[in-house]
């Protein structure tokens, strides 16, 4: 078994419905600061270990990058660390901000 894919519409529904979902953004710090999915956490090599240790591994995690490519390897990594429900966001942040600008910070 492995990570799964999630399209922006499904994530948008989860956010609108208040479904508990952790969103992690693996883009560089400047890109994250310039715009991100509301409520997302910036995840990088410096804080990934703390994230793994401090989060409930049964909680859904959605990994976001620029276009949905790099997030796949990060999602697989989190799955291998024991997270049971991990998704890579199809289209990444670039697709997200077009589809759901109301959910951007």
Closest CA to 24 of 39, 10, 43: 43
Euclidean distance between CA atoms 47 and 94, whole angstroms: 24
Task: Give, for 51, the enclosing helix (H) or strand (E).
Answer: helix 48-54
Range of the domain at 27: 4-103
Kindly report whether the global pTM for this prediction surpasses the value 0.85. yes
Cα 101 to chain center, whole Å? 16
Query: Which residues are known to be catalytic?
Result: 65
Question: What CATH number is attached to the domain comprising 55?
Answer: 3.40.250.10
**Structural domains in the chain (count):** 1
Show pLDDT as tens, one digit a residue, over the chain (105 residues).
799 999 999 999 999 999 999 999 999 999 999 999 999 999 999 999 999 999 999 999 999 999 999 999 999 999 999 999 999 999 999 999 999 998 899
């Amino acid at each position: 078994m492995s990570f799964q894919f999630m399209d922006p519409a499904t994530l948008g529904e989860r956010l609108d419905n208040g479904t508990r979902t952790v969103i992690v953004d693996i883009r560089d710090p400047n890109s994250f600061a310039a715009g991100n999915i509301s409520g997302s956490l910036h995840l990088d090599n410096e804080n990934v270990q703390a994230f793994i240790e401090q989060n409930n591994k049964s909680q859904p995690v959605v990994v976001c990058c620029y276009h949905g490519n790099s997030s796949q390897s990060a999602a697989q990594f989190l799955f291998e660390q024991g997270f049971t429900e991990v998704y890579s966001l199809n289209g990444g942040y670039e697709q997200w901000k077009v589809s759901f600008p109301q959910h951007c910070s």
